[in-house]
Amino acid sequence: MNLLNELMSILLEVVPLLEILSILTRQFLAKELNFSAVTGNSMDAVGDRDYIVEFLFWASLLSTHLSRWAEDMIIYCTKEFGFISLSDAYSTGSSLMPQKKNADSLELIRGKSDEYLVGDADDLEATIGDMIDESVIVNFRANRFVVIKQGIPSTYNKDLQEDKEPLFDVCDTLRGLLQVATGTLITLQVHKEKMLAALSPDMLATDLAYYLARKGVPFRDAHSLSGAAVHAAETKGCPLNELTTGDLKAISPLFEEDASEVWDYEHSVEQYSAEGGTAKSSVHEQINKLQEWLDY
């Protein structure tokens, strides 16, 4: 929204000539066109392209987040994880292996996102040929224009017309990335049982330290005692949650029967109810805030 307001104000720099001719004023035209303001300096108006650089930067940053998200999803839909399955509309079968399902949509998001960081596909192919992933092409467009802008004097120069190609290309590419990401996300299937099966008692070793900390043990000492419990489980050849109360008491007399509550995964998540925490109430609050931000 700030970028749009800035662009609108810059467009009004053509008005001073009309104002001199007493035809209309910039403020009048801004009001009629529903612009938020007028620019304060004519040289800045014709020579400024900061708003384009800023847009390209935010597009680059967004594409980076999309790339990381896509990589997470690619990992989660592998046979080794199996946490999610993509719909047929956003995946393809292997040309060689009938049992294989390729996460094409996610791989292309990951690939295309990198375009913003690296550069022009033609330039890159001339350098490293087929080794280049098609995703390696977007951020260079932003960086390239910054370099062009850096080497020119104030006010308008023809070099500035080079802003059009990266601006329009990045805009089109980003729109496509968001559409594919949205479609992939709303059509994928989540395998809850696979996620639950991947949980391990070792993940709750820190909760064991928190248990002692709540009983007044300094966290440094509680951390050490929890580590001793992990070592005891390894020595005994059993999962951490199968240590008996007697095993734990041998490590610290502060362990009681209620220590077994530590091994409840849902309780572990729900105990972090502070802002930004993992409890359902906190996560829902985060979602609501993001929705309010989107609707703003």
Residue 287 scores a pLDDT above 80: yes
* Residue 125 in tokens: 């192919």
pLDDT in tens, 130-175: 333 333 455 666 677 778 888 788 888 888 888 888 889 888 888 8
pLDDT at 6 over 50: yes
Contact 91, 123 (CB under 8 A): no
Do the strands 189-190 and 101-102 form a parallel or antiparallel pair, or are they unpaired?
unpaired
Q: Angle CA(261)–CA(283)–CA(239) in degrees, nearest 5?
A: 30
- Indicate the burial class of 90 (C-beta count within 10 angstroms; 0-12, 13-18, 19 or more): buried
Please tell me the distance from the alpha carbon of residue 164 to that of residue 172, in angstroms, as a whole number. 12
Q: Which residue has the higher pLDDT, 2 or 106?
A: 106
Instruction: In whole angstroms, give the CA distance from residue 294 to residue 288.
Output: 10
H-assigned helices in the chain: 2-11, 15-20, 26-32, 42-47, 50-76, 104-113, 115-118, 121-128, 139-150, 164-187, 192-197, 205-213, 219-236, 245-251, 265-270, 280-295
Which one of 16-25, 106-115, 123-132, 209-218 scores highest in mean pLDDT?
A: 209-218
Instruction: State the Cα–Cα distance between residues 159 and 116, nearest whole angstrom.
Output: 20
**Of the candidates 216, 211, 243, the residue with the CA atom closest to the CA atom of residue 230:** 243
Average pLDDT rounded to a whole number, residues 114-127: 47
pLDDT at 259 over 80: yes
89: how many CB neighbours lie within 10 A of its CB?
A: 9
Contact 119, 26 (CB under 8 A): no
Q: What's the number of CA atoms in the CB half-sphere (13 Å) around residue 17?
A: 2
pTM: 0.75
pLDDT value, residue 137: 55
pLDDT digits (tens, 9 = 90+) for 33-55: 898 888 888 888 888 888 888 89
Question: Would residue 252 be called left, alpha or beta, if left means φ above 0 and alpha means ψ between -120 and 50 degrees?
Answer: beta
Residue 14 has a CB neighbour count (10 Å cut-off) of 13
Kindly report which listed range (74-88, 114-128, 191-205, 270-284) carries the lowest average pLDDT score: 114-128
In 3-state terms, what secondary structure has residue 85?
strand
Plot region of 244 (φ>0 → left; ψ -120 to 50 → alpha; else → beta): beta
What single string gives the DSSP state of each residue in 203-231? GGHHHHHHHHHTTT--HHHHHHHHHHHHH
CA distance 55 to 173: 13
229 pLDDT band (50/70/90 cuts)? Answer: very high
Among 73-87, 93-107, 193-207, the range scoring the smallest mean pLDDT is 93-107
DSSP secondary structure letter of residue 135: T
Q: What is the pLDDT of residue 25?
A: 78
At residue 111's C-alpha, the angle toward residues 106 and 114, to 5°, is: 130
